[in-house]
Amino acid sequence: MFPPEGHLAPARIRKVFMKDQRCLLVLPDGAVNRWMGSGQRSALLFEALKTIGPTDVVVLGKTENEVPVSPDPRLEAAFFAGAASVRRVRSRHFRMGRRKGFDWVVHNLHRFLRVDKLYAGEPNVRAVLEQILTPEHRVIAFRYAQTYCLTDLAAGSGRQVFVDIDDRDDQKFETAARATLGQGVAGRFFSTFVVPKIRRVLTEKLSRATLLWYATDEDRLPIPGVTAKVLRNVPFGEAGAEAGDPALNRDILFVGTYSHRPNQDGVRWFLRHCWPEIHRRHPDSHFRLVGMGDWKSLATEFPDLQNVDYVGTVKELAPEYARARIAISPVFDGGGSKIKVVETCAYRRLPIVSVHSARGFGDAFFDALPKADDPAEFIDLCSRYLQDDDALRSTTEKLHGLQQSLFSRRSAEQQIRNDILAEAD
């Protein structure tokens, strides 16, 4: 049933590689959430692994148990349906919830200045994995570089190691530090000394893997002897019968997690520099902020703005996209590609984006996206598609067609499977 014969690795490889084998997926608890892009990418990996063999799952994070436990029914039902086993293992590097205040400052200083500890192996994690691993576990997959580094596992002896880098740590840390420290002495020190150290550690640790997946071509970290592939972000939802004609609507939508700093920065930029003029030109339009986290706190920061709906968390995204005319992604930094861009297209709505948000999807998609970094140009794009129904419909359908052909969940799962089978001995 999955995937079609034309997409499979050669029969000889399948026969040898798939006989009596198991898979193991290791990921942090922060990547177990279907409402976020990180969790959706985890689900892609898990679903693809299940087609190769029985798949055991280890979730690293803050838990009351430091040894393997029986599968968590809630996790298994909501996210890991069909897993051979699900275990939660304590890790000092991952924990649910966000650090705040002084705890946040101490944590980030520690991880920036002690890179060696940030990627050092955790003996208790390795001990649990050794209890789980059998000779049949010939495919081991990890979400994120740090997750892999904590285990000290290396490919070899019939074992293949696949790491979904997604967003590169050195790039994420550099943009976060730039936003926090600025361009002064502290910022330059970080860029000159800390970021290269992170890159060296990643290069050394990841050299023991079989294959690395990145979200975009631009994010590849050259590591001799290790295969690198681009696994693009793809949307999970798509337009249903309720989508309707976008030209009948007046809402501008933003979907994203509040805790992700680039999202906050982008929304503040839009509220400060774009929305007042857009609302002046189109007083019947509304800007709706949807996503996990405390988006409503921005209401006190921008008390004079009219027609801004600080919605926050919703159970389903489809109704929000259905009532929207366009959706925006004014995000100017951060690694990887922006899932909200192709998600908007999947729901048959038009994304208007920053140039950074358009990266990582290939030339055809990049060229077709309405994009601008200058506030006046961004305002004009929004205004054009708020008033020109024909342009709205034609551009929306063009992008929807590109998304369906290039960025579907099925194609991503097929690619993961094929990449794994292609690395078989």
Instruction: Indicate the pairing of strand 137-143 with strand 22-28.
Output: parallel
Q: Please, which pLDDT band fits residue 113 given cuts at 50, 70 and 90?
A: low
pLDDT of residue 58: 93
Q: Give the three-state DSSP class for 52.
A: coil
Tracing tokens 């997604």 back to the chain, one arrives at 166
Domain shared by 249 and 229, yes or no: no
Q: Please, which pLDDT band fits residue 337 given cuts at 50, 70 and 90?
A: low
Domain shared by 255 and 222, yes or no: no
| Residues 134-147 pLDDT 10s | 999 999 999 999 99
| Residues 29-59 pLDDT 10s | 888 877 777 888 999 999 999 999 999 999 9
Domain shared by 246 and 204, yes or no: no
Domain shared by 301 and 183, yes or no: no
Domain shared by 198 and 304, yes or no: no
Amino acid 239 reads A
Q: Cβ neighbours of residue 113 under 8 Å, at least 6 residues apart?
A: 194
Domain shared by 107 and 166, yes or no: yes
Domain shared by 296 and 309, yes or no: yes
Q: Please, which pLDDT band fits residue 74 given cuts at 50, 70 and 90?
A: low
Average pLDDT over residues 77-98: 78
Residue 327 has pLDDT above 80, yes or no: yes
- Residue 192 sits in a domain whose CATH number is 3.40.50.2000
Q: Give the three-state DSSP class for 331.
A: coil
Split into its structural domains, the chain has a count of 2
Instruction: Label residue 409 exposed, middle or buried (CB < 10 Å: 0-12, 13-18, 19+).
Output: middle
What is the domain range of residue 369? 241-406
Q: Give the three-state DSSP class for 143.
A: strand
Domain shared by 38 and 142, yes or no: yes
Domain shared by 329 and 308, yes or no: yes
| Residues 13-25 pLDDT 10s | 444 455 578 999 9
Domain shared by 204 and 280, yes or no: no
- Angle at Cα 101 formed by Cα 97 and Cα 106, nearest 5°? 90
Domain shared by 359 and 330, yes or no: yes
Strand ranges of the sheet holding 85-90, from the earlier edge strand across to the other edge:
85-90, 55-61, 22-28, 137-143, 160-166, 211-214, 227-230
Average pLDDT over residues 263-283: 98
Domain shared by 150 and 20, yes or no: yes
